[in-house]
Amino acid sequence: MKPVLIIRTGRAPEPIRARHGDFPHWFRLGAGLHPQQLRIVDVAVGEALPPPHEVAGAIITGSAAMVTTRESWSERTAGWIRDAMDAELPLFGVCYGHQLMAHALGGRVDYLPGGREIGTQTIELTALAARDPLAAALSASFRAHTTHEQSVLEPPAGAMVLARSARDPHQLLRYGPHAVSAQFHPEFNAEVMRAYIRRKHADLRREGADPREIFGAVAATPTARRLLRHFSRDHRWTAIVG
């Protein structure tokens, strides 16, 4: 059986990794995958991606990097995304992965107007979500964790906007039958979200935000966390789901 590829575009900060693990672990749990069925490629350190036909699908992680810097590893990964789309490979991008998919397919990524979005947000489905099979896993309004400075400002032509937040109108995008991306973090639990807010405490104060208020508003996000599991099942990764 072909492995599911995790395209690692960065790492969680060391203090968070030490206590909570890192991106591949969170995505494995979120998607319900067995460790031995994963293939992890760290593109940010130059590891080469396999041809799309060698994997069952791919999850593209978040990163502290910015898509707009057009780093060589990121642009190579964007090219791979285009090849994977041509091959109709199941793809799920999150945060940086969400932005990179949109960039690769012709959308525009830049800094979110009004500054960073961080904490537990209310996400609302759009009218287009009513006929989307993956959105069936979600309620019309649900909570999700976010932490980002850049965002998809203009989705690629033909992309369907499935969900939005008050600050970001492009929280969940579908690019085709097998390709979806989310700006929010379905792989985060509440403790991970709190850890990120603690780490950004000084930045938030400098930006005029109240980190204590943001921290206090963190809540469980069971609906958002179902998203990865449903994507895994919908794209026939069920044989490797525990």
Give the type of residue at 175.
Y
State the catalytic residue, choosing from 170, 185, 230, 235.
185
Examine the residue annotation and report whether 185 is marked as an active-site residue of this protein: yes
State the catalytic residue, choosing from 95, 98, 103, 148.
95
Q: Provide the sign of the torsion angle of the four alpha carbons 9, 59, 139, 172, taken in this order.
A: positive
State the catalytic residue, choosing from 103, 148, 170, 187.
187
Examine the residue annotation and report whether 187 is marked as an active-site residue of this protein: yes
Rg of the Cα atoms in the chain: 17
Examine the residue annotation and report whether 213 is marked as an active-site residue of this protein: no
Active site residues: 95, 185, 187
